[in-house]
Amino acid sequence: MNNAVSLASDYPLLNLFWTIAIIFLWLMWFMLLFRVIGDIFRDHELSGWGKALWTLFVVILPFLGVLVYLIARGGSMHERDVQRAKRAEEEFQTYVRAAAGTSGSTDELARLAELRKSGDITEEEYAKAKARVLG
């Protein structure tokens, strides 16, 4: 280690590289720490005591706590993120449908009524399509 420090001080560009590498590793560490703490508090399956104990473990022994958390619950972190993203997407789609549904459904119903009047679709097909539009 002493040779690396003396080598870095002999070459200013290498010293800059080491500084950037250390800063990058610290930023990665803090991102991982915040991600783990966020996952602890977002998990609805974990009880309040479980959240408190994991948080204490991660705060008191941060390196060991994060490592143990990733080993114990790291595989399910991705699954929880995917479920959260799907829920958010469904809520967004529901909102968009609700916001745009008033004029779109009336236009669709008018088009179906025209098709029924012209005889292009039967009464049964009209009823199914109408139920689909309103459902």
Q: Is the dihedral of CA 97, 102, 105, 111 positive or negative?
A: negative
Please give the Cα distance from 130 to 47 (Å, whole number).
Answer: 46
Contacts (Cβ under 8 Å, ≥6 apart) of 113:
126
pTM of the complete model: 0.56
pLDDT in tens, the chain (135 residues): 556 556 556 677 788 898 999 999 999 999 999 999 999 998 888 899 999 999 999 999 989 999 999 999 988 888 988 999 999 999 998 888 777 755 567 778 888 888 888 888 888 888 888 888 777
Which residue is associated with the tokens 């309040």? 48
Please give the Cα distance from 17 to 29 (Å, whole number).
Answer: 18
Please give the Cα distance from 13 to 132 (Å, whole number).
Answer: 67
Give per-residue pLDDT as tens, 1-40: 556 556 556 677 788 898 999 999 999 999 999 999 999 9
